A and B are shown apart, each in its own frame.
Chain A
Amino acid sequence: MRYKDTSDLEISLLLEAIYRKYGYDFREYSQAHIRRRIMNRMSASGFEDVSQMQSKVLNDEAFASELLQNLSITVTEMFRDPVFYRSLRENVIPVLKTYPFIKIWHAGCATGEEAYSMAILLQEEGLYDRTTIYATDFNQMALNRAKDGIFSNKMIKEYTSNYQLSGGKESFSCYYTSNYDNVIMNQSLKKNIVWANHNLVTDSVFAEVNLILCRNVLIYFDKNLQNKVQTLFYNSLINGGVLCLGSKESLRFSDLYEQYIELDTKQRIFKKKY
């Protein structure tokens, strides 16, 4: 049998339905990505076509929230891209040191590994006590796990190696306690992190900050949405504030590119002009 392609129309109707009923707006996400996730969910749940799945989404909230989980990719790591964190220490920490109070926004923090990495780095640089970290995501389940700060110890070997490569100054094991198959992050790392639900597509500026990290989130958006979210970041940064993107994300095609100077081109670290 020939493969029957699900039409773009069916998918965009489903996204429209999700938006109208639940307020989550995926209409300007990467289409190839959304299509892949939806087709996976469809075959895993045994639906014959998208319209069948659409009526399930509209009538069954539990199923809808399962689908939302499928559309939010929470894959993350501690000290992901160690060279990036090394550059943070070298190029961004000196900027932060000039402020009496520091506000940092992790947009799309997933299960929190990135925010904990930042807390560790700031502790080592002596800045954590005057910092507030806002770690936000639109995925409440991921945020709840982030708040708990309990991670599988299967990953610890890799995180330890990432930490060391990133220029870490201590032994990584002093930042957590082991408990059976898990590790629990130290309470002292959590104290200045504020976890909050925030949707980059539908919510607006909520604070003025010195540093924004939004890594591996914008790759999921189309160009138009990327530009909108870049405007949100620009409006949230103080003059001279710093924006960090993922290693494969670029500002170059954004309308706001001219408004920043590049602190580290390869690691995608930008400073907002005065």
Chain B
Amino acid sequence: MHYEAIVIGVSSGGMNALKIISSALPGDFNIPIIIVQHLSAHSDSHWINLLNEKSHLDVKEADEKEKIEKGNIYIAPPNYHLLIEKDKTFSLTIDERVNFARPSIDVLFESAAEAYTNKLIGIVLTGSNSDGTKGIKRIKDCGGLAIIQDPKTADSEYMPKSAIAAIVPDYILSLEDIVALLIQINQQKR
């Protein structure tokens, strides 16, 4: 299967999880990755720079109307929802919070599922709320691949458990195994 994008939703405990994933992916990884990490509305972009320094890929905040390109890891800016258009560009909104969150994982996942249909991989990682559950369900319903972090290996098990309760995931894996799987999928692609 030729996957065209990967979306990741992560909340509490996410900094560490994202560090592991972004530093382990090789420079020739050519599926774009788009991430919602729950953060406070006023957080700055310092941590993105840190991730970027340690990654072989370009880690950056997603810009409004930006075209989604391979070789990049995009992060939703704090206090905005991030959506994907069918022409594979980003939109930002300041609509009401969803699941008490802005950015919301569900908002990203649902729009991504509509834009990429079955060419999308959705990943739900550690977190202590149920944001992402509806979104991962939509991804499955549109034919995409669902990967959930093994709750036993997550800092906060609530979010992965909530996702597992709602769908039959394709994979339930530790962070290290998620990375290995993504690398394998990327190699099949070439």
Q: Which residues of A does B touch, CB under 8 Å? A: 2-3, 5, 8, 30-33, 35-37, 73, 75, 216, 219-220, 223, 248-250, 253
Please tell me if B114 contacts chain A, counting CB pairs below 8 Å. yes
Our pick among A5, A33, A73 for the contact of B91 (Cβ within 8 Å) is A33
Minimum CB distance partner of B138 in chain A = A3
Please determine whether A32 and B84 come into contact, CB atoms closer than 8 angstroms: yes
Please determine whether B114 and A75 come into contact, CB atoms closer than 8 angstroms: no
Please determine whether A5 and B142 come into contact, CB atoms closer than 8 angstroms: yes
**How far apart sit A220 and B94, CA to CA, in the bound complex (Å)?**
9
CB distance from B153 to the nearest CB of A (A): 30
Please determine whether B77 and A248 come into contact, CB atoms closer than 8 angstroms: yes
Please determine whether A73 and B95 come into contact, CB atoms closer than 8 angstroms: yes
Known contacts A5-B114, A32-B86, A73-B95, A253 near B77 by CB under 8 Å: no
**How far apart sit A35 and B111, CA to CA, in the bound complex (Å)?**
9
Our pick among B64, B96, B114, B142 for the contact of A249 (Cβ within 8 Å) is B64
Please determine whether A36 and B107 come into contact, CB atoms closer than 8 angstroms: yes
Please tell me if B110 contacts chain A, counting CB pairs below 8 Å. yes
Please tell me if B92 contacts chain A, counting CB pairs below 8 Å. yes
CB distance from A194 to the nearest CB of B (A): 25
Known contacts A31-B86, A249-B64, A253-B65, A3 near B142 by CB under 8 Å: yes
Our pick among A33, A249, A250 for the contact of B83 (Cβ within 8 Å) is A33
A-B residue pairs in contact (CB < 8 Å), sample of 9: A3-B113, A3-B141, A32-B91, A36-B107, A37-B95, A75-B95, A219-B80, A250-B63, A250-B64
CB distance from B72 to the nearest CB of A (A): 17
Minimum CB distance partner of A1 in chain B = B141
Please determine whether A219 and B111 come into contact, CB atoms closer than 8 angstroms: no
B 137-164 binary contact with A (CB < 8 Å = 1; else 0): 0100111000000000000000000000
- Known pairs A32-B86, A219-B64. 20 more at Cβ < 8 A? A2-B141, A2-B143, A3-B138, A3-B142, A5-B142, A8-B86, A31-B85, A32-B111, A32-B114, A33-B83, A33-B91, A36-B95, A36-B110, A73-B95, A73-B96, A75-B95, A219-B94, A220-B91, A248-B77, A248-B80
